[in-house]
Each structure stands twice: as structure tokens, then as C-alpha cells.
Amino acid sequence: MPKNLQDLDEVIIRRIGYFLHEDSFIPLPSFNPHWLNLKSDLNTRAGKDYRSLSNTSRKLKGILPLRGLHLELTRWYRLERWVRLAPKSVLGGVRRLVIDIEQTEKLAQQSLISKWLMLAEFLQLLTSLQELTIINIPLCQHDQVAQLLRRHITLHLPRLVSLDLRADCTLCSTVWIHPFLLVSSDLLSLRAVIQNGIEESFAISIEEFKKIHNVTEHPLRRLLIKVRAPEHSMKVIERLSTIFPRLETLLVSPHSIEEPYPIVPSLYLGVFPPRKNSIEEMKLLLMGGDVKVERLLMDTIQREGVTIDESLRRLSQLRNIRVIDLGMRICIGQNKERPNPYLSATPNKYKTAQHYFNQLKNLKGKNAKYQDYKFNLQTAFRMIAEKSVKYFPSLEVIYIWEVVRGKNDIAKQWNRWCCRIEHDSQAEDQIVVMVDPIPENTIGDWTTNDEGTGPEAADLYHSDHADD
């Protein structure tokens, strides 16, 4: 019978350490889609109780080494100090890193190559680094980037599995994807901004990656992208599906090019209900383009759209996809937004009987309209899921957006519906489609994202940090 903690078996002590450490319960990757503006789970104080237990004795320190550290760097001199002074045990314990170092006038005077080599040396020392988030990086000197990428890729990050690039600069938000793609042999998750046309540069980088690491495909499994030109989103998605054929999760956030850059689901899915509610008679069409909500006409979709089968067929290389959000916006009949399901008549002493009963009669008609809308919506969701499984046989979840409320051509409120697909283990072609009864509901103004929208010039500095 053990008398104290140190008498316990090492396996049990490690298990206690696992449950003490906050990092054990933070998913990898920890980032969210571009439209979902939640507070980060990363915390530089993570593991405080774990370290306290480890420091209790020499024996426990050997059983519970430093691990799961979260580090955030906001000054260049701090990064340099970590390279020069940090103990190897601390460097080796860093699992998640956030770099948020803005370009300053002083830093801009330094050679881009020397700064890159310093950053590469630092990252090389983090032998347990698995997640890297870059918010700002003082390498915004685009005239030297080409030379850097050709001659100075000296970095190797074999354990990095999650990369999140959030730079404001239009070019930095995309150009720094390429070196990290090349040096991270086991990168599984990527969150980035995709400019129109950059997917071709992706293809070149991936071909080089295959040669360097002697593989036939890139291992990326999870891709979260912000598309800055919604009208090109389908073209970008189609190209990326050929570059990363092993993808299991693809979440696309098409955003407006105008401030404050709200999400604009740009694949309009027009559902044309017949007079009688019949699944066979419904027509689904898909149309790309940043069409204003209040000006969306179903006859435009009817005239210019393409069938959903044709659109999904273009992405059929994603044979392993399990979770997908293409930024589909569903439109039912001539409804520009979701009918209000909570209409009711309230009697009071100021209403006449005629007024009250006429109001009640009108509202009953409007509620009946909502019930029809709801039926068509649920039916359309199931049809979309069934069609998607034909091209994505491993699909488990598909997300579809719906405008709840709009005003002045701007979506003020969204529903994001989750359709879950269960596959019958006995019959390969049999599926069960379930729609979550409660959607994610978000305000349009809350979905804004300014990543990749800032200035491209390297001479825009922040003098308030000039002492770095």
C-alpha cells in the first residue's frame, strides 16, 4: 500500500500529470474557421499545476518532464533572448507557439535573410513544437522574399502538425505558406488566406515538397481557408482538391472584399419547391458570385446556375473528405430570408374584436408559410447530403448556411446548419441523414475577418514599437 504520492507507480503518476495539465484538453489544432471569432485556447500559464507537481521532488521531475508549454512572442528581442539564453529543457517543452511581432522601422533596416535565419534557428530549437500561429512577422520585405525562398530554406520541422497564418499584409498572409509547407514533413492542419491565383503557387510548392520528402502526395488532412474573392471560391476549391487529395476536413470562409470583411457564403443553392411538396420535383442549382441578399432572384439562379451534381463532381478527388463547408447558402423559393416562426397575436384593451381576429387570421397564414418553408428546408438538406455522398463516399458532416435576417442588401444574421450522415455498415450504399435541430446562429457583423487585407508596402511601420 503506497504511503504517499512518490510511492505510486510511474504510470499512475504520469496519468495524474496528464489530467493536471490544461494542454491535455486543448485540441490539436486549436484554431477555428476564419468567421468564428472565438478567444484562443492558448495560455502561457498552461501547465502551472503540472509544473508544481513536477518540482515537488527529483523523482517526480524525472517522471514529469517539462511539456505542453505555450509561448507567445510579441517582441523581436525576446525571440533573440530565447535563442541565446533559454535552457534546452524549456525549449524542448514548448508545444504551441504564437508569433505576433510587428514590423518596425528598426527591424526593417535589418537584412531579411538574417532575420529569417534567426527565426529558423529559434524554431529548430523547439524540438517538441506541434502548433505554430503567426499573427505578425517582421519579414515584410517582399523584394527579398524570392531570393530567400530559393537559397535559404535551412529549416526542418518534423513534428509540426498545425500551422495558422494570420498576417494582415496581403502578400505576407500567403507568401509564407510556401516555406513552411516545404519544411514541415508531417503538416496535417493548415489555416490560411487564399488569394485568387495563389493556388497555382501552391501546386508548385507541393511538387517540390514531394521531391524533397520522396512522397507521392502531401499528408495535409485539415484545411481552413479564407477566400478573399468569393466569386472565385469554387475555382479555388476545385484546384485545392487536386493539390491536397488526402483532405478529411475542408472549411471554406468566403469573405467580402469590403470593410468590415464579413463572411459572404457565395455558392447560392436555389431550391425550387413545386406546388406539392415532393422530393423528386425539387430542383437544386448552384451559383457562385457575391450577389446581394436582397437582390437575389431565383430566376437568376435558374438561368445562370449549374446543377449541384455538376459542381460536386468537380471536387470528386476528395475521396477521403469527412467534414466539409463550401460556403453554400440555401435559398428556398422566393424567400429572401427565413420566415419568422414566432408570430403571434396578443389581445389588449386597445384592439377591437375585428382587428384582433383579422390579425390572428393573417398570422396563421404566415405561420403556415413558415411550416412549408421548414419542410422544404429539411428536405433540401437531406437531398444535398444524399447527392454529396455520391461524390464523397466518406462524408460524415456537411454545413449549409441560411440567411435569417437581412437589411439593405447585407446579411445581418446567419444560421449554419449541420447535416450529419451515418453510413450503414451492412449496406454500403445506405445512409441516414440527420439535421441538427438547433443551428449555429451568428450575427453578420461578428463574422468579420481582416486577415490578408492590410497594406502590402514594406515601409509601413509601427513607431510605437521602434525600440525593439
Are residue 163 and residue 275 in the same domain, yes or no? no
Q: Which residues contact 417 (CB under 8 A, 6 or more apart)?
A: 381, 399, 400, 401, 402, 435, 436, 439
Are residue 173 and residue 286 in the same domain, yes or no? no
User: Residue 451 domain-assigned?
Assistant: no
User: Residue 205 domain-assigned?
Assistant: no
User: Residue 112 domain-assigned?
Assistant: yes
Are residue 178 and residue 309 in the same domain, yes or no? no
- The whole-number pLDDT of residue 92 equals 95
Domain closes at, from 410, 429, 448: 410
Report residue 42 as a C-alpha cell: 492558448
Assign 222 a pLDDT band (cuts: 50, 70, 90). very high
Assign 153 a pLDDT band (cuts: 50, 70, 90). low
- Identify the domain containing residue 103 by its residue range: 5-195
Are residue 184 and residue 275 in the same domain, yes or no? no
Nearest one of 258, 270, 260 to 296, comparing CA atoms: 270
pLDDT digits (tens, 9 = 90+) for 283-292: 556 555 444 4
Are residue 157 and residue 28 in the same domain, yes or no? yes
Percent of the chain with pLDDT over 70: 79
Do residues 267 and 252 make contact, with C-beta atoms less than 8 angstroms apart? no
Are residue 184 and residue 272 in the same domain, yes or no? no
Domain closes at, from 410, 427, 456: 410
Return the ∠ at Cα 338 (arms to 306 and 360), rounded to 5°.
Answer: 140
Please name the residue ranges forming H helices in 353-393.
353-391
Per the structure, the count of domains in the chain is: 2
Are residue 71 and residue 183 in the same domain, yes or no? yes
pLDDT digits (tens, 9 = 90+) for 159-175: 999 999 998 887 777 77
Q: Which helix (H) or strand (E) holds 237?
A: helix 233-243
User: Residue 317 domain-assigned?
Assistant: yes
- The whole-number pLDDT of residue 334 equals 60
Are residue 9 and residue 92 in the same domain, yes or no? yes
Domain closes at, from 410, 443, 458: 410
User: Residue 47 domain-assigned?
Assistant: yes
Distance CA 455, CA 453 (A): 7
Assign 304 a pLDDT band (cuts: 50, 70, 90). low
Are residue 274 and residue 395 in the same domain, yes or no? yes
User: Residue 434 domain-assigned?
Assistant: no
Distance CA 119, CA 104 (A): 16
Are residue 14 and residue 155 in the same domain, yes or no? yes
- The whole-number pLDDT of residue 293 equals 40
User: Residue 144 domain-assigned?
Assistant: yes
pLDDT digits (tens, 9 = 90+) for 173-188: 777 788 888 889 999 9
User: Residue 460 domain-assigned?
Assistant: no
Are residue 127 and residue 46 in the same domain, yes or no? yes
- Residue that wins the pLDDT comparison between 145 and 291: 145
- The whole-number pLDDT of residue 272 equals 67
Q: What pTM value is reported for the model?
A: 0.87
Assign 281 a pLDDT band (cuts: 50, 70, 90). very low
Are residue 31 and residue 162 in the same domain, yes or no? yes
